[in-house]
Structure 1
Amino acid sequence: MAKEKQSSASSIRKPPKGDEQQDFFVPALYDVGSRDSRSIMDVAVFRLSKKDRRAGAVIRYELPGGEYVQVSAGAAGMASVWDYDLVIMAMSHLTEAMNRYREGKGEKPGRVYRPHVADVLKFCRRSDGGKQKDDLVEACIRLNTTHIAMERTRKAKNGRTVTVSEGEALISRYKVIKSESGKPEYIEIELADWMHRQVVEGKNPDVLTVHPDYFLIDQGIGRYLYRLARQAAGKTSAKWSFQTIYEHSGSAGTFKEFCRILRKLIEADDLPEYALREEAGQSGPQLLMTNRSAVELPPGEEGGV
C-alpha cells in the first residue's frame, strides 16, 4: 500500500515511448551529460507555471552583498522552466565540445548550436509528436524575449574584486528550419554571451551536471528544487528556509500554496539524487536537501540559507 501511495503522488512523469532506445544516427546525444549554468541555479530565471504566461512581468531577486538578478518577460510571455531545456542542451553540447578542444581533439566551439528537432526531443525526454515540435518554436520565441539582467561580484584576473552588471536574453537569437511538410526540422540558437563565456573561459567551465531524470520532473517547483539542491547541496547537504525558497522561486502564487506543493514534493521524496525533509527552524519551516549517496553529516555541517 505504501508503494502505491508513493507512486500516485510521484512528481516524476513516465518516460515517453522509445525513451530507452538509442538512435543510431545521433550517438553523440547519449555521450553528453546534461549541464547547467551554476551562477543562476539558485534563482528561477523563468516561470514555473505551465498556465500563467506572465507576459510583460518582471521578477527581481535581491541577493546578499547588494547583488541582484532581474527577469523581464516580453509580449510572448516569460520563458518557462520547460523552455529552458533548450538552453541546458546547448550548454551541455558546448561544454562537451570545449572539453574536446582542451584535449586537442576539436575546434574551439562558438555560440551557435544547430540540432535536429528529433534530437532535442530525445535529449529532453519528450515524445516525438507534431505538437511537441511546434512547441519548440514557441519556446525559442520566449527564450529570445526573456531578458536577464544581473549584478554579481567576481574576482578579476589581477586579483581585485569587481562588480559586474550585464544583461542579455536567455538566447541571443534563433532560427527554425522547416521541412516541406511545414514541420520544424532543425532549430538554430545562439547562446547568451555570458553563458558562452562561463564555459569557454578559464580552465574549468562554471557548469554543473544535471541528472537525466531532471527532464522527467513534472512540476515546475520540483524542477526548481532539484536545481537548487544541485547547486547548494552538491554531493552533501544544504538547508534552506521555506520562505527563502519561495522568494528565490519567483512563484506567482501565495506562500501558503507554495508550502502545500513543497510538502507534497517532500512526501513523494522522489527527486533525482536528493532526499527532501522538513525541519523546524527559528525563522519557520526549513527544507533539508541531502544527496542520497552522501554520508550523514554531523549537525551544523549543512550549507544553505
Structure 2
Amino acid sequence: MSGAGKQVDLFLDSLINAPMKDDRALMEFPFFSLQKTPRLKPLVYDDGKVRIEVRPGDRGIATIWDKDVLIYVASIINDRLERGLPVDKTIRFNAHNLLQVTGRGSGKRAYELLLDAMFRLRSTTILTTIEAGESKERRGFGWIETFRIIERKNKAGKKTMAACEITLNEWMFRAIVQDRRVLTINPSYFELSMGLERRLYELARKHCGYQQRWVITLPRLIEKCGSVLEPRFFKPQLKRVVEQDGLPDYHIAMSFDPKERAAAEKSGLDGRRWASNERILVSFWPRGQKAPELLLTPDE
C-alpha cells in the first residue's frame, strides 16, 4: 500500500457504509487517558491475570479521543477482510474521510488535532501480557509504528492534509486479522464529549452486549476506567453520566446491594457509615429492555 505521493489518490482507503469496529481488549482494559490535558503519570492496571502498563511520551499518554484513529484503521482492515481483499499493517487513508466518520469537523484545527493524535499514538509505550494470535506480548510497543502525512496545496495555495499513512503495531494487527477480536460499535460513540462517557460505553458494549444486565462495584469500575480520580471525585462525574442518560444503546444506574442494606439496618449501623463508596454497585442494561429489578451480586 505504499507508493509515491503523486500516486496517492489511487491507493487511498476510506469507509463508506461500513460498520465501525473496535478491538475487544481495548474495550475491556484501560489503555487510554480519559482527560484532554496531557497525562504524564503512567497508567498501570493489574488484576492478577492481566497486567498493563502505559507510559507517556513527551505529549502525554494517548487519549480516548486519539483512539478514534485506531478504531478507524481497525474498521478499514476489517472491511477489507470481509470483502476478501488483502490486508497489510500499513494503511493509507483519506484524512478528510476519517474526520468525517469520527465527527471531528474538517477545519484547520481538526487536522492539527489529528496530527497531534498520531504523535501521541506513536510515542505512547504499552507493555502488556494480553495474548494476540498465539503469543503473549512482553515487549514495549507503540500503538502505531510509523505515520506519514501527505500534504498538497489547495486552490488558495495553502497546504492541506491530503492523506495519512499509518503502520499499525503487530500486536493489534494480529488481534484484528488472526483472532478477529473485534466488536461493532455504535457510530454515536463519536458524539460523546466526555472521556468517561466513552469509556463507560466501551465497557457496556464489551461486558453487557445484549445480555439483561452487567453489574460492577464502583471501585472495580474506577480501576477498569483507568481513572486517576479518587472515588469521592469520580462518583459525581459518574452521577452526571447517569442523570444525562446519553450512552448509545445502554442505560446506566448506581445503587446499593439490597441484601447488604437490609443486613446493615438489622444490625443497627448508621446509614452514613454503611453507605460507603465501596458498597455502590453500577449497573448497565440495553435500551429497550426493562431495568433489572434487583442487583444482588456484581459480575465483577
TM-score range normalised by the length of the shorter chain: 0.7 to 0.9
Instruction: Check 1:201–1:295 CA distance in 2 against 1; reply closer, same or farther (3 A cut).
Output: farther
Q: Does 1:93 align with 2:79?
A: no
Amino acid at match of 1:86: V
**1:171 Cα deviation from its structure 2 partner:** 1.2
Using the size of structure 2 for normalisation, the TM-score is 0.81
The answer on whether the counterparts of 1:74 and 1:145 sit within 8 Å (CA) in structure 2 is yes
**Counterpart-to-counterpart distance in 1, 2:27 and 2:145:** 20
The answer on whether the counterparts of 2:52 and 2:128 sit within 8 Å (CA) in structure 1 is yes
The one of 165, 189, 193 equivalent to 2:170 is 193
Instruction: Check 1:111–1:265 CA distance in 2 against 1; reply closer, same or farther (3 A cut).
Output: same
**Counterpart-to-counterpart distance in 1, 2:170 and 2:221:** 28
The one of 287, 290, 295 equivalent to 1:292 is 287
| Deviations 1:273-305, CA, capped at 9 Å, x for gaps | 011111213541111011114466685798731
The answer on whether the counterparts of 1:232 and 1:304 sit within 8 Å (CA) in structure 2 is no
State the 4+ residue runs in structure 1 displaced beyond 6 angstroms: 295-298, 300-303
The answer on whether the counterparts of 1:134 and 1:183 sit within 8 Å (CA) in structure 2 is no
The answer on whether the counterparts of 2:132 and 2:174 sit within 8 Å (CA) in structure 1 is no
RMSD: 2.4
The one of 242, 250, 253 equivalent to 1:274 is 250
Instruction: Check 1:139–1:163 CA distance in 2 against 1; reply closer, same or farther (3 A cut).
Output: closer
Q: Does 1:120 align with 2:91?
A: no
SS at match of 1:41: helix
**Counterpart-to-counterpart distance in 1, 2:83 and 2:297:** 35
The one of 29, 32, 39 equivalent to 1:54 is 39
Instruction: Check 1:155–1:82 CA distance in 2 against 1; reply closer, same or farther (3 A cut).
Output: closer
**1:42 Cα deviation from its structure 2 partner:** 2.0
Instruction: Check 1:27–1:37 CA distance in 2 against 1; reply closer, same or farther (3 A cut).
Output: closer
Amino acid at match of 1:208: L
Q: Does 1:246 align with 2:222?
A: yes
SS at match of 2:227: coil
**Counterpart-to-counterpart distance in 2, 1:153 and 1:178:** 37
| Deviations 1:244-292, CA, capped at 9 Å, x for gaps | 1112222223321211000110111110001111121354111101111
**Counterpart-to-counterpart distance in 2, 1:302 and 1:31:** 40
The answer on whether the counterparts of 1:73 and 1:145 sit within 8 Å (CA) in structure 2 is yes
SS at match of 2:232: helix
Identical amino acids, percent of aligned pairs? 24
Instruction: Check 1:216–1:254 CA distance in 2 against 1; reply closer, same or farther (3 A cut).
Output: same
> Which consecutive residues of structure 1, in runs of 5 or more, have no partner in the other structure?
1-25, 157-161
Q: Does 1:225 align with 2:200?
A: yes
In structure 2, the residue matched to 1:179 is 152
**Counterpart-to-counterpart distance in 2, 1:28 and 1:190:** 16
Instruction: Check 1:189–1:301 CA distance in 2 against 1; reply closer, same or farther (3 A cut).
Output: farther
Q: Does 1:168 align with 2:145?
A: no
Q: Does 1:208 align with 2:194?
A: no
**Counterpart-to-counterpart distance in 2, 1:301 and 1:294:** 18
> Which consecutive residues of structure 2, in runs of 5 or more, have no partner in the other structure?
1-11, 261-277
Amino acid at match of 2:279: G
**Counterpart-to-counterpart distance in 2, 1:119 and 1:302:** 44
Q: Does 1:34 align with 2:35?
A: no
**Counterpart-to-counterpart distance in 2, 1:166 and 1:188:** 24
**Counterpart-to-counterpart distance in 1, 2:298 and 2:26:** 17
**Counterpart-to-counterpart distance in 2, 1:163 and 1:303:** 29
Instruction: Check 1:63–1:154 CA distance in 2 against 1; reply closer, same or farther (3 A cut).
Output: farther
| Deviations 1:232-252, CA, capped at 9 Å, x for gaps | 111112111111111222222
Amino acid at match of 2:142: A
SS at match of 1:92: helix
The answer on whether the counterparts of 1:134 and 1:184 sit within 8 Å (CA) in structure 2 is no
The answer on whether the counterparts of 2:250 and 2:287 sit within 8 Å (CA) in structure 1 is yes
The answer on whether the counterparts of 1:238 and 1:302 sit within 8 Å (CA) in structure 2 is no
**Counterpart-to-counterpart distance in 1, 2:293 and 2:252:** 17
Is the radius of gyration larger for structure 1 or structure 2? Answer: 2
SS at match of 2:235: helix
**Counterpart-to-counterpart distance in 2, 1:294 and 1:130:** 43
